[in-house]
Structure 1
């Protein structure tokens, strides 16, 4: 039987560039999981607490990259990534970029990294800092780019949050990140309008109304998979319970109620206008899938 000593155990390690709120949350998750973590931040003072918790502060970004095979960037923007890594030797390195950016920036950064000898993975974080390192919170990160890199570091990447690989196109994580957040902002816009309508009533408590609103939004979210299927099939009428003609007929009541409650309808009028346009073009029996074509290809 082989006698394994403590010295035989290899401590997993990686480098993190960027110690804002999100970067710090990722750092603490890796440290808590026993990883050897080298960090760098443009403002070194931000690293003090992490160093006290066991992180190693590198003198510069290039030194931080040199310390480990895997480097994760979580910086302000794509330009900051380029500036931080300008002097680093990326030959044979694995680079995972969690910096928020556009799909074209992710594809360009992938080509840039590969030209310098590195494998590249782009990430889109679907979480806020308090969700990092808390599996039950449901946060996850979308990844796209090198499948070999993803498989090689799957365990490390899964420590801060769940992982979802979206394919080899480096821009797909950023694209789906923004698409999902766009859906969130649309939901928030509707919720803001709803709260504005009821807030002026003395006997309707916003905190008591909130569960009703949340339950209704969750129930109506069932239409989202249907829209996806309709967009793929090209049949925008099958299974539609309330067509655009019926929806448009009720728009004036929404506008009148907003007027009575002294609430601006500006958050809702854009979608109402799209509904009217699509219905007037002869698609009265459709649901909301037809609105997608009015926005783009």
Structure 2
């Protein structure tokens, strides 16, 4: 079992730490707040310097990119394999990779697609996106896969963060739709618990095919072949949704921006398209 040094013991870091210890890895941990560093079976380092010096594989799971810079300021990371699981932007990940390389370290960036209770539970389906050195990923793949699954997405160190934010952005868009749906029924004699299974089944039934079709159309550039519900028809239906919200006393702020994008696309595109063209409107 390889040794692992882990900097950061928030909820996620602590969950990662426990799985590595349980799997038999020699783990050294450091946390800015010493009281949080009580992980049974792990060696507690007094400083980031000590934690980094303890082994080759150094995993960082801190609040933000500034926290990473502060924790590793002045620390000798030459010869180390630095895996950064701190949530960041693609630009920050690329800059941090260059920073690590300048200091003689190899670098992997990670985007965690899981919440702490999913760590160490394979059936929960969580995983981490990794990008950067493929050689480094392959070298430490087994250790990195102990807490949660792994998905390598490319040599560009910014790709893990980009995949992370892209998926989470889609998630928040879904949450917006869910909030609007529940708001529509909120004042009616409709049991939200009874309504929930309908909503829970409808979303994946619509989203799964739409995601695949959008990807295929973006790749081919053909937005019209095989379209079932065309843009012109869907735009024509949007007043009904807005009027229903108005009638139910529900704000339109979650759905109106997307409807406006649909109408703009109709103005510049073809009514025979599906909704794929909205993607192009978002590019600046």
The equivalent of 2:5 in structure 1 is 15
Match status 1:123 vs 2:113: no
CA positional deviation for 1:13: 1.3
Q: Is the 8 A contact 2:269 2:277 kept in 1?
A: no
The correspondence for 2:30, drawn from 40, 44, 54, is 40
Q: Report the equivalent of 1:93.
A: 80
Q: Work out the CA distance in 1 between the residues paired with 2:193 and 2:16.
A: 33
RMSD: 0.9
Counterpart CA distance in 2 for 1:180 and 1:224 is 12
1:86 Cα shift?
A: 1.4
1:231 to 178, 202, 218: 218
List, as ranges, runs of 4+ consecutive aligned residues in structure 1 with deviation greater than 2 Å. Answer: none
Q: Does 1:249 align with 2:236?
A: yes
User: What stretches of structure 1 of length at least 5 have no aligned partner?
Assistant: 1-10
- Aligned residue runs from structure 1 range 108-119, under 5 A: 108-119=95-106
1:4 matched to which residue of 2? none
Aligned residue among 192, 212, 230 for 1:206: 192
How many Å separate the matches in 2 of 1:113 and 1:68?
A: 16
Aligned to 2:51: 64
2:261 pairs with 248, 256, 274, which one?
Answer: 274
Q: What is the deviation of 1:23?
A: 0.7
**CA-CA distance at 1:148 after TM superposition:** 1.0
Distance, in Å, in 2 between the alignment partners of 1:120 and 1:243 is: 46
Tell me the distance in 1 between the aligned counterparts of 2:258 and 2:146: 40
Q: Secondary structure at the match of 1:71?
A: strand
Report the equivalent of 2:71. 84
The Cα shift of 1:21 comes to: 0.8
CA contact (8 A) 2:88 2:161 kept: yes
Partner residue in 2 for 1:26: 16
Kindly indicate whether the alpha-carbon contact (under 8 Å) linking 2:93 and 2:109 is maintained by their aligned counterparts in 1. yes
Per-residue CA deviation, residues 147-201 of structure 1 (Å, 9 max, x unaligned), is 1110110001001110000010000000111001011011110010001111211
Question: How far did residue 281 of structure 1 move?
Answer: 2.0
Query: Structure 1's 241 and 14: CA in aligned 2 closer, same or farther, altered over 3 A?
Result: same
Could you tell me the TM-score, scaled by structure 2's length? Answer: 0.98
CA contact (8 A) 1:63 1:88 kept: no
* Alpha-carbon distance between aligned partners in 1 of 2:198 and 2:120, rounded to the nearest angstrom: 31
Q: Equivalent residue for 1:215? A: 201
Superposed displacement of residue 75, structure 1: 0.5
Contact 1:274–1:291 (CA under 8 A) maintained in structure 2? yes
Q: Does 2:150 match 1:163?
A: yes
Count of paired positions: 283
Alpha-carbon displacement from aligned partner over 1:177-232 (angstroms, at most 9, x marks no partner):
10010110111100100011112111x11111111111111111111111001011
2:171 counterpart of 1:184 = yes
